[in-house]
A and B are shown apart, each in its own frame.
Chain A
């Protein structure tokens, strides 16, 4: 079964740091790009960041640029999201998801993990 499991969320003060993990199983991890998407009740789903197969191409949303960094360890089948200088507006459930397709085949996200909650509050 293809599965993604996030961990590492919690309560952190503004300006603090956190590292999220996304552990993958059931597929050849190094064959897929992985993305982080977050959900906050007032904002819906918001794309956060993505990483390519070997970690050499990493992109993130303007809203988190310079503060959140994605990385991956293909030996451990895990993607990480290093979160620094956290703001109240970063409060959300963070999901990791696998990108399927691409190129001539339209890309989509499937499956998604169950999410991990990050709360930024004093």
Chain B
């Protein structure tokens, strides 16, 4: 199974900041890497798929990059509604469809 490792596990930032979350796959996953946003009590939401394609309707301040084994999610000009937990997920070699352990983004 492919393991996904995110860093950091948690992050504190202020409104207006730019933050970066990293995701590393234990094996090659090409660009089959997705990012989800999850808020307590809510359904997870797809933000970015295929490593860098922004889902229609998602804010343009979210940007994904990377390929192979190393990927990054960058959020620019943080807004209050962005404070949530973010997960990466590989869809290259399944099952299982593995997720990273999550990065909790908190308000400083």
Q: Is the interface of B mostly helix, strand, loop or mixed?
A: loop
When distances are taken between beta carbons in the complex, the residues of chain A under 8 Å from B42 are 114
Stretch in contact with the other chain, from B10-18, B20-28, B73-81, B97-105:
B97-105
Does the CB pair A112–B95 fall under 8 Å? no
Does the CB pair B32–A106 fall under 8 Å? yes
| A70-112 interface code vs B (CB 8 A; 1 in, 0 out) | 0000000000000000000000000101000110011111111
Does the CB pair A47–B97 fall under 8 Å? yes
A residues in contact (CB < 8 Å) with B:
35, 37, 39, 44-47, 50, 59-62, 95, 97, 101-102, 105-115
When distances are taken between beta carbons in the complex, the residues of chain A under 8 Å from B99 are 37, 44-47
**How many residue-residue contacts, CB under 8 A, span A and B?**
80
* Interface size class, chain B: 20 to 34
Does the CB pair A61–B96 fall under 8 Å? yes
Does the CB pair A107–B91 fall under 8 Å? yes
Does the CB pair B49–A108 fall under 8 Å? yes
Q: Does B72 contact A (CB under 8 A)?
A: no
